[in-house]
Amino acid sequence: MPRSEIMPLWQKFVEDCHNCRACPLGATRTNCVISRGSIQAPVMLIGEGPGVEEDRQGLPFVGRSGRLLDDLLLALGFEKTDFHIGNIVKCRPPGNRVPTTEEAEACRPLLGRQFNLVKPKLIVTLGSTAWRWFTRQEGQISKIRGQWVKKGGIELMPTFHPAYVLRNPAARTLLWDDLAACYQRLQELRAEARAAADV
Ligand code: URA
């Protein structure tokens, strides 16, 4: 869809997010935290929920874990236009706790709309909360990470949350490997699209 058609839909989506009071987090947030990166992007990364800095700035992954994520993505060769970063919930759970079932379910329709606007080719879920709520599947992230999973025709890579990697530096190479697999897959998809355009 051309940008001129996407923008009004995106602006309405953003307005609806800012007006959302579907769960109690709407009353305690400073800002509704929607996305960072390209509006339409081939790779969509999904985290858990905003922390204190994200709530303050209104942008996802702008604290320490976000800096690690950006460092890895850019070192791997991703362009800033290649990715869109969001979260399972758009408002900060007080005390940085894990979002409740009620909060994650209440936010799901907005995440669905976001996904339909971004139209990613690849999804990366960061940590177990994102995996669980995006796929509605259980699973221990250390066991399922690093393997592509098909979800409604989209390829999804579960990996560690960068905050976990900050607490467990040995996991850094595994997060790197999973994001590298994503970069590699993106290049393959682009090569396939070029080849298809040539025939
Ligand atoms: N952790 C998350 O899961 N999301 C953010 O936006 C920031 C930290």
pLDDT tens digits for range 55-114: 999 999 999 999 999 999 999 999 999 999 999 999 999 999 999 999 999 999 999 999
Which structural domain range is residue 118 located in?
3-198
CATH code, 25: 3.40.470.10
Pocket mutation for ligand 1, best pick of 56, 61, 62 (most atoms within 8 Å of C-beta): 61
pLDDT at 2: 82
Residues in the chain: 199
Per-residue burial over 79-114, b = 16 or more CB atoms within 10 Å of its CB, e = otherwise: eeebbbbbbbbbbbbeeeeebeeebbebbbebbebb
Asked if the model's pLDDT at residue 3 lies above 90, the reply is no
pLDDT tens digits for range 165-196: 999 999 999 999 999 999 999 999 999 999 99
Is there a contact between 123 and 155 (Cβ–Cβ < 8 Å)?
Answer: yes
Instruction: Judge if the beta carbon of residue 47 lies within 6 A of ligand 1.
Output: yes
pLDDT at 180: 98
Domain count of the chain?
Answer: 1
What integer is the mean pLDDT of 24-30?
97
pLDDT tens digits for range 108-135: 999 999 999 999 999 999 999 999 999 9
Alpha-carbon distance of 94 to 28, in angstroms, equals 8
Q: Which value, to the nearest 10 degrees, does the dihedral of the CA atoms of residues 84, 85, 90, 92 take?
A: -160
Neighbours of 119 (CB within 10 A): 15
Nearest to 41, CA basis, from 155, 151, 129, 123: 123
Residue 97 CA to ligand 1 centre (angstroms): 11
Distance from the Cα of residue 45 to its chain's centroid: 3
Instruction: Judge if the beta carbon of residue 61 lies within 6 A of ligand 1.
Output: yes
Q: Which value, to the nearest 10 degrees, does the dihedral of the CA atoms of residues 72, 122, 186, 181 take?
A: 50
Atom of ligand 1 nearest to the CA of 48: 3
pLDDT at 152: 87
What integer is the mean pLDDT of 38-45?
98
Q: Give the SS3 label for residue 42.
A: coil
What integer is the mean pLDDT of 6-31?
98
pLDDT at 54: 98
Q: Give the SS3 label for residue 157.
A: strand
Q: Which residues contact residue 137 at a Cβ distance below 8 angstroms, ignoring those fewer than 6 apart? A: 131
DSSP 106-139: HHHHHHHHHHHHH--SEEEEEHHHHHHHHH----
pLDDT at 103: 98
